[in-house]
Amino acid sequence: MVALDGVALDIASRRLLDGIDVHVRPGEMLAILGPNGVGKTTLLRAIAGLHPAARGTISIDGATITTLGAIARARRVALVTSDEVLLDALRVRDVVAIGRYPHHRWWQWRQRVDDDAAISGALSAVQLEPFAERLFATLSSGERQRVWLALGIAQETPVLLLDEPTSHLDARVAHQILALLRDLARAGKTIVCVLHDLNDAAAYADRLALLAEGTLLGAATPDEILSGPLLERTYGIAFERVRLGDGRLRVFAAAAQHA
C-alpha cells in the first residue's frame, strides 16, 4: 500500500502541490495525469523518498518513507526515470544489474543465482535478451527506455514508480510496455506511473489521478476522471468522449478532432 495523506510539496520555497490524499493498493495500477509543470515527476520522487514533503505523510505498507534508510527504501520502491546517466561504457546486462544492488551488502557484491535470474527475467520481460551484451551507448532512446524499465523490474520491489515509461517508444512497443505494467500489477505489484496519453491511461490503468491547479482534482476510474468538464478544467481545452463498440472509452481534444 502506498498512502499519501495531506501531502504538500514545495519547489524552491514555492508551493507546488497541496492537499494530496490518495492510497494505491497492491495489485493496482494508478496513472498520474496533468499538464506540464504541474508536479507529476516531483510527486513520484516524493513517494520514492527523494523529495521531502512540506506537510503530510507518505508511507509504504505503514512505514513513513522518511523514516526508512536508503537501502530499506530501495528494497520497497523502484523509481524508473529516463534521466541521463553516464553509463555508456556498460553492457545492457550490467545496467540492469544495478537494480540488484539493494539486495546486497555494499562490501559483499558478487552476483548470485537469484541475481542472474532476476536480470534475465527483466530483460525477457522487456524483450531485450538479444541486447544483453550490447553497449548501452549503442542503443536508441527507445531501447534505453526499455533498459531502465528492466532495471526497475530487476530490483524486485513491491512498488514500482515510472516517469513517462512510454516516452521515445513507438506505438507497438509502448502498448507492450503498458500491458507488461498491467500484468505486473495483476501479479501483486503496486504500479504508479506518469503518463501523458489520456487514452493509453484509460486503456491500461485501474485508476487515474488528475493533477491541476496545485492539487489533486480526483483519483478514480477512467470513466469518472475522463469527463469533459474535468478535462477542460485541467487542460484548458474542450474534449469529446467516444464509447467504442467494445466498451472502451476514448477522449479527443475537440479542436484536433474537427481540424
Q: Which residues pair with 17 in a beta bridge?
A: 9
Q: How do residues 231-243 score in pLDDT, each as one tens digit?
A: 988 998 888 888 8
pLDDT at residue 123 is higher than 60 = yes
The pLDDT of residue 255 is 60
Q: How do residues 175-227 score in pLDDT, each as one tens digit?
A: 999 999 999 999 999 999 999 999 999 999 999 999 999 999 999 999 999 87
Q: What is the CATH classification number for the domain harbouring 111? A: 3.40.50.300
Mean pLDDT value across the chain: 90
Per the structure, the complete domain to which residue 108 belongs is given by 2-258
Q: What value does the mean pLDDT take over residues 143-155?
A: 93
- pTM attached to this predicted model: 0.90
Domains in the chain, number: 1
Q: How do residues 46-63 score in pLDDT, each as one tens digit?
A: 999 999 999 999 999 999
Longest dimension (CA), the chain: 62
